[in-house]
Amino acid sequence: MTRPLDMAHVHAQFPGLRDDWVFFDNAGGSQIVRPAVDRMVEFLYQRNVQTGGSYAVSQAASEALITGRQAAATLVNAARPEEIVFGASTTVLMQNLCAAMRSQFSEGDEVIVTMADHESNIGPWMRLQEFGVTLKFWPLNAETGDLQLSDLASLMTDRTRLVCVTHVSNILGKVHPVAEFARFIHDHGALICVDAVAYAPHRAIDVQAWDIDYYAFSLYKSYGPHGAMMYGKYDLLAELDGLYHYFYGKDKVPGKLEPGNPSYEVAFSVDGIVEYLTGLARHHGATGDRRALVVAAYDLITRQEDMLTDRLLGWLATRDDCHVVGDTVNVNSTRVPTIAFKFDGVNSGDVARAMDDFGIAMRFGDFHSRRLVEELGLDHDGGVLRVSMVHYNTVEQVDRLTDALTQILAKVPA
């Protein structure tokens, strides 16, 4: 498909979009798409009972949960819906995964995390140190500014059990080659756990093609409600310790990893997210099954987001007082439109707060990637500014942002 994204069609699907605000804080939470809301309303008004009963309404509730898992499996290309675990947030899912894996580690085993990650994929694994597990940090490469396998190779030993990595840093915005990472890690006898929060809103996911072991992201940053999902290979999920009642056996996948049961309406909403994506693809002329349409939709999304990324990076490059964090150009769509930057001698918080008067929503700080921001030496004067865009943003909105930045910076004393 070569047609540009029909922005009128896109905007009609997001009830929360309003002309008076530009939402450039999408990495903190995107707007929710209408079909996801419709699924939640349908569940709460028509199916709002506990699953597992023999009566008709309970059967309808169970069907909604199954439908949500099937949609989630389509979204990430899982082999089966039972490989989908729902949870309150990615942070909670990572903490739960760590707890469920705890008995698989012995004293002297090693876990590797990265300096580029959100704390959700670092903090839980650090707690294993009290059980004698060694934690190592995979650093950013000093020359390339990203994660290199050559640096990982020097860390791995025959005691390395798990490598935890981000698909995209919510500060750097660079897409990491997780399939390449997975092959290398598996060849060294370890597992890979990927935090995909900053990737999932922007690109199609294929956990089977990439051979990922665990893969988690937040639905509320990917056009859904406040919830999250994690993919895990079925055989691996089956070996995890249960987090639910003692009579939930190891074979009760994924229920044993969803204590108290998942939010049924949130799970069902994923079917609405997939409906939006498939409808977007059909609207632009794509054909095929549901999975093929999801992939086609993300192709459209990528093209729109590339325009936004290039527009903002191009303007930032004209400023000799601006430091862009990460790559300053978007080569072959390897950068998502999550762009962090800092102006010399200017408090980032002052700039972000001044944006409120222009009707532009953005944020400043470390975005829970504190270790990375500190490592980069950018934790002073309010941390970094971050503009995080998605496909419903427009080039005109980027221009509105840069015009506002020009006015704000002009008032800064020399």
Residue 397 shares a structural domain with residue 342: yes
Residue 89 to residue 219: CA distance in whole angstroms:
8
Q: What is the mean pLDDT of the chain?
A: 96
Distance CA(194)–CA(165), nearest Å, equals 5
pLDDT tier, 314 (very low <50, low <70, confident <90, very high otherwise):
very high
Q: What is the pLDDT of residues 207-231, one digit of tens each?
A: 999 999 999 999 999 999 999 999 9
Number of domains comprising the chain: 2
Same domain, 175 and 238: yes
In the chain, % of residues over pLDDT 90: 94
Q: With a cut of 70, say whether residue 414 has pLDDT above it.
A: no
Structural domain contains residue 1: no
Q: Which two tokens stand for residue 406?
A: 């020009």
Neighbours of 346 (CB within 10 A): 17
Q: Which residues pair with 215 in a beta bridge?
A: 194, 231
Q: What is the DSSP string of 10-50?
A: HHHT-TT--TT-EE-BTTT-PPPPHHHHHHHHHHHHH--S-
Q: Would you put residue 332 in left (φ > 0), alpha (ψ -120 to 50) or beta?
A: left
Cis before 254 (ω within 30): yes
Measured CA to CA, the distance from residue 133 to residue 150 in angstroms comes to: 23
Q: With a threshold of 0.85, does the pTM exceed it?
A: yes
Q: Are residues 305 and 231 in the same domain?
A: no
To the nearest 10 degrees (0 to 180), the angle between helices 56-76 and 264-283 is: 50
Q: Is the pLDDT of residue 1 over 90?
A: no
pLDDT tens for 58-112 read 999 999 999 999 999 999 999 999 999 999 999 999 999 999 999 999 999 999 9
Q: Which domain holds residue 404?
A: 7-33+289-410
Please determine, for residue 20, whether its predicted confidence score (pLDDT) is greater than 90. no
Query: Is residue 26 located within the same domain as residue 61?
Result: no
Say what percent of the chain tops pLDDT 70. 99
Residues 141 and 115 in one domain: yes
